[in-house]
Amino acid sequence: MKIVLQRTKKASVTVNEEVIGAIDHGFVLLVGITHGDTIDDAKYLAEKIVNLRVFEDDNGKMNHSLKDVEGQILSISQFTLYGDCRKGRRPNFMEAAPPDTAEPLYDAFNELLRSQGVPVETGSFGAMMDVQLVNDGPVTLIVESQSGKK
């Protein structure tokens, strides 16, 4: 699994001109799933993300986690994270897991985040979505599961 994490002051996702998810401060997660990803990858990433210390303390140091600041998550499925642009002019998405594999793992990942006590809003798997966010910092990180590292 590969996740682009963006620290945000607020964010929302819209499908068919209807806001289906919105958060205040926290993280926007763009979540990509590849072949061979498992529930263990989802567990690893859920624990890593909610405890990642990327929020400033009173001294301006990144010492606080999402849990510490009572932040929220907006989780968006993003198969294009596994787009390969090395050849030609059109990305190849062969590394992205098919929807029947990716969707249940994406849903499980979101439930694992919630089980850590973090409010989670989501987009709509497979839908065309408009995502709006106000980057905080900006702080943007790529977080990968252990099996996703190459």
* Cβ partners under 8 Å of residue 24, min gap 6: 9, 10, 72
Architecture of domain 2-144: 3-Layer(bba) Sandwich (3.50)
Strand partners, 135: 8
Q: Give average pLDDT by consecutive 10-residue segment, the chain, 150 residues.
A: 98 97 97 96 97 96 97 97 94 95 98 97 95 96 75
74: three-class secondary structure by DSSP: strand
The DSSP symbol for 141 reads E
* Residues belonging to the chain: 150
pLDDT of residue 146: 73
- Residues with a catalytic annotation lie at 78-80
103: three-class secondary structure by DSSP: helix
pLDDT of residue 13: 98
- How far, in Å, CA of 23 to CA of 112, rounded? 18
pLDDT of residue 150: 45
Where do we find the tokens 């699994």?
Answer: 1
Instruction: Decide: pTM greater than 0.75.
Output: yes
pLDDT of residue 50: 98
